[in-house]
Amino acid sequence: MRERGPKLRETLITLAHGAGGKATRMLIEQVFLEAFENPALRPLSDAALLEHDGVRLAFTTDSSVVKPIFFPGGDIGDLAVNGTVNDLAVSGARPLALSAGFVIEEGFPVDDLRRVAASMAAAASRVGVPLATGDTKVVERGKADGLYITTAGVGVMPAGVELGADRVAPGDRLLVSGSIGDHGMAVVVARGELALEADLESDTAPVHELAAALGEGLGGGLRWMRDPTRGGLATALNELAGDAGVAVWLDEEALPVRPVVAGTCEILGIDPLYVASEGRLVAIVAPDAAERALEILRSHPQGADAAVIGEVRDEPEGLVFLDTALGGGRVVDMLVGDPLPRIC
Amino acid sequence: MRERGPKLRETLITLAHGAGGKATRMLIEQVFLEAFENPALRPLSDAALLEHDGVRLAFTTDSSVVKPIFFPGGDIGDLAVNGTVNDLAVSGARPLALSAGFVIEEGFPVDDLRRVAASMAAAASRVGVPLATGDTKVVERGKADGLYITTAGVGVMPAGVELGADRVAPGDRLLVSGSIGDHGMAVVVARGELALEADLESDTAPVHELAAALGEGLGGGLRWMRDPTRGGLATALNELAGDAGVAVWLDEEALPVRPVVAGTCEILGIDPLYVASEGRLVAIVAPDAAERALEILRSHPQGADAAVIGEVRDEPEGLVFLDTALGGGRVVDMLVGDPLPRIC
């Protein structure tokens, strides 16, 4: 179990509490986890594991408040569906059904709602999972920002699949299925608030096929998976390092970052390690499974740019360390503050 | 299958689309159902039925946008938990786990969030169901109204339980577990916008024990259950009448309405038949099971005011008909417009 961090001192919620980084973790641990305390929630993983009559289920939820609702490469609808599918997939589960709760602002165009619904339907159909139940609420003008969608998902854990931070050990290798930061940068630029144009597109996509292929191909050699969304790769790996009590060493030169993403990040002074992807998975695998894992990922169209990007070590325990291209290195902390509000 | 109603003509979403009545049904049928088309969603019941490996699951979701967040008898937290528990319970399912997605407005007091979390925890603990997974998003000031919560729930259907509009037949009896309209009126008065004070309290509560007792006690004699929330008893029964192709005859004199609720409704010109309850269930039972059903409900503290309030007939097909105290009668239509926005 991760050690308690500093105490939550703020009296009012700030945007940083929603950024997925350090403040979010403190809020969740010190407000929700304290109140809701139960073994299913405790691991704070992407999906809770439930068991009934010998059937193992995974259960997860995501609220989507992305701004703008439509952006290059996707919209709030497929983002919501893919996000929930991916939380199930990286937990090792096969998606069984999704739900969707809509909070709509009075005055929202019905045609935009149709467009979002069509995009949710297409995303769900791509995965073969039904949008089985839903709810619709409307709030007055000025009480939302167009449309918020909260999806939840139920999945089935195949027999034998056991993933988790407790299975990660020094020597294990770290892989990513493709370039990082595409989604976050595409959304930020799409807002049009920056005097910046760039040919950026969200990577929003379901990773269920990649996840299933790794599970089938590696068996017990697959230790842990995550989709590096809000807070980016840095935050996902910091949570792993803390939960597993290990160090994660990242090789900067091996990190796949598209030049246009790297360039936009540089202009904005943002580190791509903290920028959300919405169609990538990171995986920790046993040392002797790394080559096979890379083959499996690269043989799939979504994994063409997959790479081994680091390894697990003993020290410095609980931290993520970046080996830089220049031969030096630095600790990569969890996200602090919120440089990119409402990117998912 | 219910016939298609009139075509959705609005180009912008209105508050009526969130009221749970006719406009909501049109929006759901003509936007979401058309896009998402699948057998689990099709019945538009309180919970979708899923099946995996011989295990039957129920799955449901609710977005809560109630204003004010704290009101006499409850708050947005226990309302959200009870609402999802009740959707599972009236489907005949035993709740297994809940999820919660929070959309929080920047500047919301952390202490209020703790209070809501504590109330969710208490409500979940009363039912013995874990809040197993969640998500937290923060939006800028002016982009929400304090706090919105979307809960989802997974439940297990006990073997042998078969409920549905298709099992309802003429001659069946209609029961309600207690007084109607308490929640909606308590919330409206709590807003303080009306020059009105009344000793009103929400009835928010889980009905899982009542539902389970009816299921165990009546077996196949229990046909259909629903919790009459948004849109009230009138809307729930109209949906039943349409789905089952029957008439529902209501006996006005038998309807339990607390005098303070009836009086407040009268002042505001609102029919209590359209006002939400959040801790009541309505049940249709076989003719010879009505007496036993009433006994079961009344033997539970939450069912002290239970009553047989009507019956199912052949005619007028698809309609709800109210036998008034004066010996006359009138058709009770579905809710049109939204006299009480954001009561749940």
Cβ–Cβ below 8 Å for B136 and A59? no
One domain, residues A82 and A214: no
- According to DSSP, the residues that pair with A138 across neighbouring strands are A104
Instruction: State both tokens at B57.
Output: 């699951």
One domain, residues A53 and A144: yes
What band does B328 get if pLDDT is binned at 50, 70 and 90? confident
Give the position of tokens 């504590």.
B118
Q: Which of B91, B123, B156 is the last residue of a domain?
A: B156
Nearest chain A CA: its distance from B344 CA (Å): 9
One domain, residues B320 and B228: yes
CB-based burial, A274-299: b 16+ in 10 Å, e otherwise = bbbbbbbbbbbbbeebbeebbebbee
pTM, 2 dp: 0.96
Within-domain flag for B23 = no
Positions of E strands within chain A: 48-52, 55-64, 70-71, 74-75, 94-105, 131-139, 147-156, 173-176, 222-226, 247-251, 282-285, 307-313, 320-323, 329-332
One domain, residues A147 and A182: no
CATH number at residue B182: 3.90.650.10
Taking residues B200-208, report their average pLDDT: 97
Q: Is the ipTM of this complex over 0.85?
A: yes
Within-domain flag for A14 = no
One domain, residues B72 and B202: no
* Gap between the Cα atoms of B291 and B293, Å rounded: 5
One domain, residues A146 and A169: no
* Gap between the Cα atoms of B306 and B290, Å rounded: 12
One domain, residues B327 and B209: yes
Within-domain flag for A4 = no
Beta carbons of A108 and A143 less than 8 angstroms apart: no
Q: Which domain holds residue A125?
A: 45-156
What band does B334 get if pLDDT is binned at 50, 70 and 90? confident
One domain, residues B232 and B319: yes
Nearest chain A CA: its distance from B251 CA (Å): 31
pLDDT in tens, B178-202: 999 999 999 999 998 877 778 899 9
- Is the model's pLDDT at B31 over the cut of 50? yes
Within-domain flag for B294 = yes
Percent of chain B predicted with pLDDT > 70: 99
One domain, residues B169 and B146: no
Q: Which of B11, B113, B138 sits opposite A18 (nearest CB)?
A: B138
Percent of chain B predicted with pLDDT > 90: 83
pLDDT at position A1, please? 38
State the sign of the Cα–Cα–Cα–Cα dihedral B251, B254, B258, B259.
positive
CATH number at residue B84: 3.30.1330.10
pLDDT at position A4, please? 52
Within-domain flag for A306 = yes
Within-domain flag for A259 = yes
Cβ–Cβ below 8 Å for A31 and B117? yes
B249 touching A, CB under 8 A?
A: no
Give the position of tokens 């691991």.
A43
One domain, residues B126 and B207: no
One domain, residues B242 and B101: no
Q: What are the backbone dihedrals phi and psi of residue A52, each rounded to the nearest 5 degrees, phi first? A: -145, 125
Within-domain flag for B11 = no
> Which of B84, B99, B145 would you mutate first to test chain A, the one with the most A CBs within 10 A?
B99
pLDDT in tens, chain A (344 residues): 344 567 888 999 999 999 988 899 999 999 999 999 988 888 888 899 999 888 899 999 999 999 999 999 999 999 999 999 999 999 999 999 999 999 999 999 999 999 999 999 999 999 999 999 999 999 999 999 999 999 999 999 998 888 999 999 999 999 999 999 999 999 999 998 877 778 899 999 999 999 999 999 999 999 999 999 999 999 999 999 999 999 999 999 999 999 999 999 999 999 999 999 999 999 999 999 999 999 999 999 999 999 999 999 999 999 999 999 788 899 999 888 887 889 99
Beta carbons of B280 and B309 less than 8 angstroms apart: no
Taking residues B237-252, report their average pLDDT: 96
pLDDT at position B216, please? 95
Q: Which of B122, B156, B190 is the last residue of a domain?
A: B156
Q: Which of A156, A178, A196 is the last residue of a domain?
A: A156
Nearest chain A CA: its distance from B149 CA (Å): 9
- Is the model's pLDDT at B39 over the cut of 70? yes
Within-domain flag for B8 = no
Taking residues B281-291, report their average pLDDT: 98
Total count of domains within chain A: 2
One domain, residues A107 and A240: no
Cβ–Cβ below 8 Å for B110 and A53? no
Beta carbons of B162 and A71 less than 8 angstroms apart: no
All residues of chain B having their beta carbon less than 8 Å from the beta carbon of residue A143 are 144-145
pLDDT at position B4, please? 52
